[in-house]
Chains A and B, each alone.
Chain A
Amino acid sequence: MKTSIPRQLICLLLPLAVLAGCASSVPAQKAQFTPYQQVQGARQIRVLKSTEIVLDTAYKRLIPENSTWKLSGTLPQGDVYRAEKTIFTIEGRQVHEAYLVLSGNSLVGFYLPGESNFSPLSPPLTLNFESVKHD
């Protein structure tokens, strides 16, 4: 009985440690972001099917159905879309505001505007969306 208490404690503390302080950092590399200059008429997309993303850090994020995203700029990796009327973040050891980076219909990663970094998504995900506004 006495020996089972430390084991129980370990079982309790280990997941806490993983959840609390030991999450890995979001992978990030310096981004060459070119902002979209036109203020009005920027391309917008609407997500047609809710998509769950499992990050390398094991945190999950949901891109909701019918959420709209506005073209904000470009990266060598793809076009950058910012959430409209809501916020989107990715999380690891830290929390980062994030924009979607799309190459064709593939979500290839995230632009982190608070630090000018690109965080790749591995493997990329197919995102089901439609274009709702063009220049």
Chain B
Amino acid sequence: MIKSFSLIGSVVLTAALMTGCASGPKYAEVAKSIPTLQADQGRVYFFRSASMFGAAIQPDIRLNNEVVGTSQPGGFFYLDRPAGQYVAATSTETEKTLSFVLDAGETKYVRTSPSFGVIAGRMVPTLETPEAAQKELPELSYTGKPAAAAAK
């Protein structure tokens, strides 16, 4: 039994190390090229801490059923979208969605963090306070499209 757990542990650890953290440019490098918001749009940042816990789980992130990026440890990206109602979700074993409203000129921060279900892991999206998110962003790497393409 102990051997089995050791084996599973080794496989998970290896997988985690192989998949690794996000490796794009840091927030400070990207910040200069982030455009000013258009008047009728809001901005949504998706980010995930650099913790290796659950690092092997890197699902797609969907916003109103559109795949907009991937949840990678230590990664962030942002999207500009028209003001309105949104549902964020990730593609994992069981789905936990986050519904929120985005106002024109508003910036929202969505953290994705791993949680373990009965059969497999899943990624839970939650709204984060601007204060906490802005503290964490400088340590993270940009995993989105080139800045100009992030606006839609």
Contact = CB atoms under 8 A, between A and B. Distances in A.
Interface in B33-90: 85-87
Chief secondary structure at chain B's binding surface? strand
Interface in A12-54: 13, 16-17, 20-21
Contact of B115 (A5, A20, A85): A20
Contact of A115 (B94, B99, B127): B99
Q: Which bucket holds chain A's interface residue count?
A: 20 to 34
B96 A95 contact: yes
Interface string A84-122: 011101000111110000000000000011111000000
A116 B97 CA distance: 16
Contact of B96 (A17, A85, A93): A93
Interface of A: 5, 13, 16-17, 20-21, 85-87, 89, 93-97, 112-116
Interface residues of B, number: 26
A39 B116 CA distance: 43
28 contacts: A5-B1, A13-B118, A16-B116, A17-B118, A20-B115, A20-B122, A21-B93, A21-B94, A21-B117, A21-B118, A86-B131, A87-B108, A87-B127, A87-B128, A89-B127, A93-B96, A94-B98, A95-B97, A95-B124, A96-B100, A97-B127, A112-B99, A113-B85, A113-B101, A114-B98, A115-B85, A115-B87, A115-B99
